[in-house]
């Protein structure tokens, strides 16, 4: 499931989170994972990308205010000046050891359209965007999924 063999220069494994606009769900998963993984003794580093940045063209700024607020309330911070959302490229997929898309019903078709050889290699979660789920619920689900993922990665070492 999404396994490749891309290690960072410091030997850490790579995790790639995908969502539609790389503004909200995948960014929160990335921030949270990168905060929690070292505390759990994992040599993994997450990044995130979007599958359709045009769909998020009305997003304001580099990062969802819901993510900024939740990250700050959880003491995660958002790191140095936030980067703008990034579109996924084939090289991003190839460099990842594990790829997770945040909503199968939404993202599997996008992967089939743009990267058909990858759609079956991606692990899918089931977390809706703000048009279908309140941010508190969605971000809480991301927290639960990230914790399960960290536990699974710890057990597989």
Would residue 118 count as lying in a domain? yes
Can you tell me whether residue 99 is helix, strand or coil?
strand
Report yes or no on 148 lying in a domain: yes
Residue 3 is assigned to a structural domain of this protein: no
Binned at pLDDT 50, 70 and 90, residue 8 comes out as low
Average pLDDT over residues 115-142: 96
Q: pTM, whole model, 2 decimals?
A: 0.92
Proportion of the chain above pLDDT 90, given as a percent: 83
Asked if residue 20 lies in contact with residue 56, where contact means CB atoms within 8 angstroms, the answer is: yes
Confidence class of residue 1 from pLDDT cuts 50, 70 and 90? very low
Task: Identify whether 5 is part of a domain.
Answer: no
38: in domain: yes
Q: Is pLDDT of 72 > 80?
A: yes
Structural domain contains residue 18: yes
Distances from the Cα of 135 to the Cα of 7, 28, 94, 131, 138, angstroms = 32, 11, 31, 9, 5
With a cut of 70, say whether residue 101 has pLDDT above it.
yes
Is residue 92 over pLDDT 90? Answer: yes
Query: What mean pLDDT, rounded, does the chain reach?
Result: 92
Number of domains forming the structure of the chain: 1
Domain contains 19: yes
The domain that holds 150 is classified in CATH as 3.40.50.2300
Do the domain assignments include residue 8?
no
Q: Is the pLDDT of residue 34 over 70?
A: yes
Higher model confidence: residue 81 or residue 14? 14
């Amino acid at each position: 499931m999404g396994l490749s063999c891309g290690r960072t220069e410091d030997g850490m494994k790579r995790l790639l989170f995908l969502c539609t606009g790389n503004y909200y769900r995948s960014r929160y998963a990335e921030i949270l994972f990168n905060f929690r993984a070292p505390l759990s003794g994992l040599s993994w580093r997450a990044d995130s990308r979007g599958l359709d940045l045009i769909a998020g063209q009305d997003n304001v700024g580099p990062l969802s205010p819901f993510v900024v607020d939740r990250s700050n309330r959880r003491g995660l911070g958002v790191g140095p000046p936030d980067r703008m959302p990034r579109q996924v490229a084939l090289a991003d997929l190839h460099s990842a050891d594990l790829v997770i898309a945040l909503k199968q019903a939404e993202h599997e078709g996008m992967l089939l359209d743009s990267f058909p050889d990858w759609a079956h290699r991606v692990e899918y979660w089931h977390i809706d965007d703000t048009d279908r789920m309140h941010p508190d619920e969605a971000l809480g689900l991301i927290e639960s999924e990230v914790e399960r993922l960290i536990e699974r990665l710890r057990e597989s070492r």
